[in-house]
Amino acid sequence: MKTFLLAVSLLLNAGFVTVFALRPTRVPPAFRDYFTFGSGPADAASTGTKRPAGAPVGKAATAHAKLWATLSSDDLATLAARLRAAGFPIYTIRAILQNAVNARYAARMRELAQNDPNAPFWKATNSLGMDPKRLAEYMQLANERSRVMRDLLGNYLYHDSGTLSTAEARQYGGLPQAKIDQLERINQDYSELNNQVRAAMNGITLPEDREKLALLEREKRADLAALLTPEELADYDMRNSPVTARLRPTFDLFKVTEDEFRSIYTIQQAYSDRVDLNGTTFGALTPDERSTFMQQRTAAQKELDAQMHAALGDARYAEFVRDGDRDFQQLNRLAEQQNLPAQVAIDAYNLRDGLSQESNRIFNDASLDYDQKRAALQSLAQNTRTQLVATLGPAASATYLRTADRWLTSVERGGAITFTSTGGTSIRGLPNPNAPRPVAGGTSTIIGTAAGGIITSGDGVFYLGGGTTGSGPTIITAPAPVTAPAPTR
């Protein structure tokens, strides 16, 4: 322990001297005699060498150890108090304390974060994220380190004024500092408890583990409710909700007042409370459970769309859906990068919607046979691709078509596509009259992939999970393949 403290003291001493050697104005007037700078002619004459500019000279060269002995302490609170009493500015105090605290945790955190050096290159390394116990200990140390710094510096942890930073103001709103401090302690305490539960799981989640995590969440909510008024808790939830985080990209484009946002948030949060926006482990569900889940989610989504439509009106609702669509957000960024008018992104997005409407009209046209529909859909996709190039220009269209080709190709091959309000897509494939007809009791097969995984069902409907939080699934419909009995002899 003494060796460790000596090493820390030497490290801090070196950092302390370096800070003041480079920035002498940070030294309080009472201590500046310890830091004399410049290159005196006597030094150069006596040694025959030129001393580097900024190196300490005279009695300052021998006084550093005495200075640090006057200020240093193994107790960090005492060190902080001495630095404040000596008149050092807050940014100097923060730098010294940061070095001191980091020195106490760095070695163990570095050891935990180190990948297995003996792992062959063809195998996954035993990384921090793959070891729940190591990750839990690492996070516990990180939380403890943050708590120590917060206790030492309070409001001056991240900034010099002692007031809330911009990020903290966004997170906490108008809460008094005393409640903010208690909030952070609650969050850290429950984060550590969660880490302990997850570490004990060893990568295997059992029903009792889910109940433990759910219990911790209920206890945390109870603690927050005891600390904050109902109004404060509602505001804190809104500012830190995953729903708000999901909506923020939309509001980069869709302009609303704070009152309008609060109204939208209330509707969206109610939907989130009903539906798991982070997705469900479909592989763990039975076919009936999958079907029930999708039906419930579809019904909840329809209610959400209706409520948003009623709250915003026709034009504003259409704008809200468009501005929240990842395709349109990408189009808008491409237009900005290429210095194109904002209307160009809107025109390109409208081409996509036009393709959707026309592909479904062709699909449902009873006057056309299979070959005619297939040819019309192929022509529609090709024309839309040409129009996108003309609208966006060669540079922006080359980038956009790398993602748009996935649905353009679906239409080109005979599909009718519908884009949902949640960013998902639904594709109906033309039934080929020359293909074998499905029989009752047929089974389904996998016909595609998506970021969220594949779920099959016996009715020929294939659900491909959405790629981002809150986005809807891609649904592909096709006849289930024939499952014929074995031939008799």
Backbone angles phi, psi at 202, to 5 degrees: 55, 40
Angle (nearest 5°) at CA 195 between 191 and 201: 150
Pairing of strands 425-429, 474-477: parallel
Q: What angle in degrees, to the nearest 10, is found between the helix axes of 132-153 and 76-85? A: 30
With tokens 């404040």, the residue in question is 84
Q: Is residue 263 within 8 Å of 311, Cβ to Cβ?
A: yes
* pLDDT value for 219: 95
Structure tokens at 261: 């946002």
**321, pLDDT greater than 80:** yes
Residue 401 has pLDDT above 70, yes or no: yes
Q: What is the pLDDT of residue 32?
A: 55
pLDDT at 475: 44
| CA distance to 17, 296, 398, 464, per residue, from 11 (Å) | 10, 60, 54, 55
| pLDDT over threshold 90, residue 437 | no
Report the share of the chain in percent with pLDDT over 70. Answer: 71
User: How far is Cα 125 from Cα 474, in angstroms, rounded to an integer?
Assistant: 34
Q: Burial-class residue 257 by CB neighbours within 10 Å (0-12, 13-18, 19+).
A: exposed
User: Which is more confidently placed, 67 or 48?
Assistant: 67
User: What is the torsion angle, in degrees rounded to the nearest 10, for the CA atoms of residue 338, residue 339, residue 340 and residue 341?
Assistant: 150
Residue 468 pLDDT exceeds 50 = no
pLDDT of residue 337: 93
pTM: 0.59
Cα–Cα distance list, 281 to 228, 294, 325, 453 (Å) = 34, 13, 25, 9
| In the chain, % of residues over pLDDT 90 | 34
What average pLDDT does range 304-308 have in this prediction?
93
The stretches of 114-257 forming alpha helices (DSSP H) are 132-153, 166-172, 177-201, 207-227, 230-240, 242-251
Predicted confidence (pLDDT) at residue 165 exceeds the cutoff of 70: yes
The answer to which of 64-73, 197-206, 353-362, 366-375 has the lowest mean pLDDT is: 64-73
- Sorting pLDDT into bands at 50, 70 and 90, what band is 30? low
Backbone angles phi, psi at 476, to 5 degrees: -115, 125
Residue 454 — pLDDT band, cuts 50, 70, 90?
A: very low
Asked if the model's pLDDT at residue 431 lies above 50, the reply is: yes
pLDDT tens digits, 210-252 = 899 889 999 999 999 999 999 999 999 999 999 999 899 889 8
DSSP element (H, E) containing 427 = strand 425-429
Residue 59 confidence (pLDDT):
57
End-to-end C-alpha distance for the chain, whole angstroms: 85
> With b meaning 16 or more CB within 10 Å and e meaning fewer, what string describes 315-339?
eebebbbbbbbebbbbbbebbeeee
pLDDT at 130: 65
Spatial separation of the C-alpha atoms in residues 142 and 148, rounded to whole Å:
10
Q: What is the pLDDT of residues 366-400, one digit of tens each?
A: 999 999 999 999 999 999 999 999 999 999 999 99
Scan for tokens 């539906």, then name that residue: 275
* Neighbouring residues of 80: CB distance < 8 A, sequence distance ≥ 6: 93, 97, 152, 153
Residues 107/132, Cβ–Cβ less than 8 Å:
no
* Residue 354 scores a pLDDT above 90: yes
Distance (Å, whole) CA 241 – CA 405: 34
pLDDT at 198: 82
Residue that wins the pLDDT comparison between 87 and 487: 87
Q: What 8-state DSSP symbol labels residue 480?
A: P
**pLDDT at residue 25, rounded to an integer:** 57
| Alpha-carbon gap, residue 201 to 39, rounded angstroms | 63
Q: Which residue has the higher pLDDT, 42 or 172?
A: 172
Q: Where are the domains of the chain?
A: 1-114, 325-416
Distances (CA, A) of 133 to 104, 115, 136, 333: 21, 14, 5, 41
pLDDT tens track for 241-297: 999 998 998 898 999 999 999 999 999 999 888 876 444 455 566 788 778 888 888
Which amino acid is residue 414, in one-letter code?
G
- Whole-number pLDDT of residue 315: 93
Cα distances from 208 to residues 197, 200, 212, in angstroms, run 11, 12, 6
Residue pair 420/302 in contact (Cβ under 8 Å)? The answer is: no
pLDDT tens for 75-128 read: 999 999 998 888 888 888 888 998 999 999 988 988 888 877 777 777 767 666
Average pLDDT of the chain is 77
**Higher-confidence residue: 65 or 311?**
311
What pLDDT score does 52 carry?
53
Burial profile 200-234: b = 16 or more Cβ within 10 angstroms, e = fewer: ebeeeeeeeeeebbeebeeebeebbeebbeeebee
pLDDT band at 477 (very low <50, low <70, confident <90, very high): very low
Q: Averaged over 175-198, what is the pLDDT?
A: 87
pLDDT at residue 398 in the model = 93
Q: Give the pLDDT band of residue 455 (cuts 50, 70, 90).
A: very low
pLDDT average, residue stretch 14-25: 51
